[in-house]
Structure 1
Amino acid sequence: MIAERYIMREIIKPATVICAVLVFIYGSFIAARYWADAAQGDLPGSSVMILVFFRVAVAMELLLPTTVYLSTVLALSRLYRDGEITAMFASGISPVRIAWAVFGTALLAAMLTGCFSLCIRPWAWNQFYTMKAQAKANFDLTRMKGGIFYEIWHGKRVIFAEKVNGKKSRAENIFIQTKHTDSLQIIYAREARQFTDTNTGTPILKLFHGNDYEFSNSADKEIILRFEQSELALEPREFVKKDKVKAVPTISLLQSGNSQEIAELQWRLITPVSTVLLAMLAVPLSRSSPRQGKYAKIPLAIMIFALYYNISAIMKKWVAQGAIDAFPGLWWTQLGLVILLIFLWWQPELALLWRRRMA
């Protein structure tokens, strides 16, 4: 058991660093996208990091298998380079015991991956879609930029301001067009300020020195009002959150016959399985000579993972579209990993047998 614990420890050490780096890279990429949306006024700046958190939580189902896979390749490659694997074999430790040590580590990671994939993934997607829908449904003057037209309420209201001071919640030369059921309202004001009603919590837009035009759709009449000061309640519209299959709870997917939901369910189920298979694949993949560096097998490992992930994503799309049968569906990818694992595991024996036949 000492050798097994040593191998597990050697795998876990780089795993923590790799996982942290992957989370940082992915989180930074997503944050840059949402900060760009916030700069355009599409999202409130206060919600960016929360949205990033939900996206990282979703991504953990892929980052964890990647982490275990790469850390196993790194750890075993280093042990091969330093001759420690050779010493283990010389002392009677078989390759099967090394594989069992990797399997134990991968099994723990698979349990955590399954938790993220089956439980946290749908919850995080639901929270993400809800928050994003709320952000787009509500208006906030501080998110606006001068000289840009903003559509809210699914295009029923258009807002434009020549100049905006977000810190002071103040705008100059503001134009507001609102489509009602039977009329069209256009408001122009030289100045506008936003504040919140202390009693109701409703955002209020206070307008100064402007005109209010209202045109009826049913009759040929118009109303023009001039005001020195007016208030416009910016009551949040009831946001519409589109139902996304990614946010459907796993228990509901189990009872579904819809092809899209079947594809989503299979995706969630294969992630913990692939965690174990990829880690086991790293055992024969990390075989190297002492002259090779510990990073020698990393490019090949990354290529195999990228190929596996892209094939899985394509097959998920095919299952969702009904292009291929729901069963085995995405399980073909796991069968492919098993076949590749068997081939790489027996590759040295097959190569030796081939050389003997050629001799």
Structure 2
Amino acid sequence: MILFRYLTREVLLTMSAVAGILLLVIMGSRFIRYFSDAAEGDFPVTILGSLMMFHLPGFMELVLPLAFFLGILLAYGQLYMNSEITVMVACGMSPLRLLRVTFLPASIVAVLVALCSLWLTPAGALQTAATLEEQRSRLDVSVLAPGRFQDFGGGRTAYISDFSSDGTKMQEVLVHEQPGPESPHSFVTRAGSGYQETRVETGSRFLVLENGERYGVMPGQNDAQRLTFERYTMRLGLSRSLQELDSLEYATTQELWHDPNPRAQAQFQWRAGLPFMVFILALLAQPLSRVNPRQGRFGKLLPAIFLYVAYLSLLLAAVDAIGSGSLPTVIGVWPVHLLFLGLGLLLLWRSQRKGMR
């Protein structure tokens, strides 16, 4: 029991350190991209935290298997370097018994990966798409930058010269509306000032313009409409409903299971295969972690990473082949998993045959 707790702690601690570094790199890259979009005025900075949280399960489902794989390599490699494996062999520890010990933390990681891939990742992707779509389809004063033309959805473009001292009113507002299915006219509205208000009873958002003119022109005709107003109200918030976000990336796992479409089945098999991938990587990592003390604990790290990249690349190629119809869904991605499962069993057999010296 003491030995079991020791090995589990070493693997999980190393995995946590590797996962933290990988998450920091990946999320940092995504945060920089979102921050650049926010600086361009695509959405307010206040939703950056929510967007990163929605993306976290998608990062975790890819980072955790790799971090666990590297955690076993580094933790067991250190045990070989310190000759602790030699002591375990003298006490009767075999590769098969060590594998049984390794499979318990692998089960914990596999459950976390399954939660992310089967439930949290599609839910987070749907929330991300809905949030971004909502921001694109409505004007929010907080995302407008003075002196720039900015698109805010619905075929409309806004320009403001400046804000008032308290930041609640816009000055010298120009709004262009392109022709749409509701009206064939192209409208240009200019106002001396404007502000945004929300009707409490309905929750609707409106842009209120004051002291300006509104021009309507139909392409191909010489006449134009002109309207002078002291107050003009323009309704905002014409966002699409969540039901229109019907990409397979956002579909629940249960919906994918009942969908015979090859693309849906490819997405389902990708999600379902990730938890199994954790156990296969654990099987591969144990014999690969055996290093000569003169080689160092990183002696087999590079070949192991190449093996992981090959595994992931073949999985992605199989998913693309299923989605395109060139690979039957009955076969699916499972031959790739079986291939690396066989490779892991072969390496384990060789390790068992040669011993753990």
TM-score scaled by length of structure 1? 0.88
Retained in 2: the 8 A contact 1:202–1:233? Answer: no
Query: Match of 1:141?
Result: 141
Return 157-166 or 31-40, whichever deviates more: 157-166
1:175 is matched by which residue type in structure 2?
L
- SS at 1:234's partner residue? strand
CA drift at 1:199 = 5.0
CA drift at 1:264 = 0.5
**1:328 paired to 2:327:** no
Distance across 1 between alignment mates of 2:148 and 2:301: 48
Query: Match of 1:311?
Result: 314
Return 290-299 or 157-166, whichever deviates more: 157-166
Distance across 2 between alignment mates of 1:166 and 1:80: 67
- SS at 1:246's partner residue? coil
Distance across 1 between alignment mates of 2:164 and 2:125: 34
2:293 is matched by which residue type in structure 1?
P
- SS at 1:204's partner residue? strand
CA drift at 1:270 = 0.5
Distance across 2 between alignment mates of 1:23 and 1:238: 32
Residue deviations 1:308-348 (CA, integer Å, cap 9, x gap): 22222222112111122213221122122113213322446
Q: Which runs of 5+ in 1 are unaligned?
A: 353-359
Query: Match of 1:355?
Result: none
Number of residue equivalences: 350
After superposition, residues 197-346 of structure 1 pair within 5 angstroms as 197=199, 200-215=202-217, 221-227=223-229, 229-239=230-240, 241-346=244-349
1:14 is matched by which residue type in structure 2?
T
TM-score scaled by length of structure 2? 0.89
Distance across 2 between alignment mates of 1:142 and 1:5: 53
After superposition, residues 104-143 of structure 1 pair within 5 angstroms as 104-143=104-143
* 324 and 167 in structure 1: CA distance in 2 versus 1, 3 angstrom threshold: farther
1:20 is matched by which residue type in structure 2?
G
Distance across 2 between alignment mates of 1:253 and 1:27: 28
Retained in 2: the 8 A contact 1:142–1:166? Answer: no
Residue deviations 1:18-63 (CA, integer Å, cap 9, x gap): 2222222222111111111111111221211111111112221112
CA drift at 1:271 = 0.3
* 288 and 218 in structure 1: CA distance in 2 versus 1, 3 angstrom threshold: closer
Query: Match of 2:103?
Result: 103
Retained in 1: the 8 A contact 2:137–2:239? Answer: yes
Residue deviations 1:91-120 (CA, integer Å, cap 9, x gap): 221111111111122122112211211121
CA drift at 1:282 = 0.6
Residue deviations 1:58-92 (CA, integer Å, cap 9, x gap): 22111221121111111100000000001111222
CA drift at 1:164 = 5.7
Query: Match of 1:187?
Result: 189
1:173 is matched by which residue type in structure 2?
E
Retained in 2: the 8 A contact 1:264–1:316? Answer: yes
* 139 and 287 in structure 1: CA distance in 2 versus 1, 3 angstrom threshold: same
- SS at 2:151's partner residue? strand
Distance across 2 between alignment mates of 1:212 and 1:154: 18
